[in-house]
Structure 1
Amino acid sequence: MGKSGKKRRKKRIGYNHLGMFGISLIVLILMLSLMAQSRNLQESLAGYETRAEALSQQIEDEKARTEEIEALKEYMLTDEYTEEAAREKLGLVKENEIIFQEEK
């Protein structure tokens, strides 16, 4: 009975080692899979952050253009603009003003 008991213990110990090796292998595979997914997610996040920065830059540019247009609208309502346009387009002059023209 002494020998058969030792063989059974060795078999149990052998199965225990094999089971532990199998579990360790599965855990290792799962960890590698999670690391690959994590890397992919980080790359996606970097792409989204770059896209968000580009969009916010476009928004800032659009705001600047809008402010420029508003300033131009306000300028066009002033007497200074009216005078400038009349001089330029209609050729009007102020009193006592001399105009020199090129010969064509």
Structure 2
Amino acid sequence: MFGISLIVLVLLLSLMVQSRDLKESLAGYETRAEALSQQLEEEQARTEEIKELKEYMQTDEYAEQAAREKLGLVKDNEIIFQEAN
């Protein structure tokens, strides 16, 4: 009877240790899942910004802005003022 009680006690202790380890692992996985969820939201927001920028880059307004900045082009009725050095 004592031997059986000892075996049951050892089994219960081992189950408690395994249960504690599983709870710690679960907490770690939950933390990682939250971090990945946050990262997913950030990437979706970034994807949306890129999509909006892509749509803007296909407009005439963007083409005009790029021509002004990179090529120095101006409209026919514009006057350019330069600072004297």
TM bucket (normalised to shorter chain) is 0.7 to 0.9
Asked which structure has the greater RCO (Cα within 8 Å, sep 6+), the reply is 2
Q: Following TM superposition, where does structure 1 have runs of at least 4 consecutive aligned residues deviating by more than 3 angstroms?
A: none
Amino acid at match of 2:30: E
- 2:57 matched to which residue of 1? 76
- 1:61 matched to which residue of 2? 42
- 2:81 matched to which residue of 1? 100
- 1:32 matched to which residue of 2? 13
Structure 1: stretches of 5+ with no match in the other structure: 1-18
Pairwise CA distance, 1:80: 0.9
RMSD of aligned Cα (Å): 1.7
* Separation in structure 2 between the aligned mates of residue 71 and residue 102 of structure 1, nearest angstrom: 36
Amino acid at match of 1:52: A
TM-score, length of structure 1 as denominator length: 0.70
The SS at the match of 2:80 is coil
- Count of residues in Structure 1 that have an aligned counterpart in Structure 2: 85
Larger Rg: 1
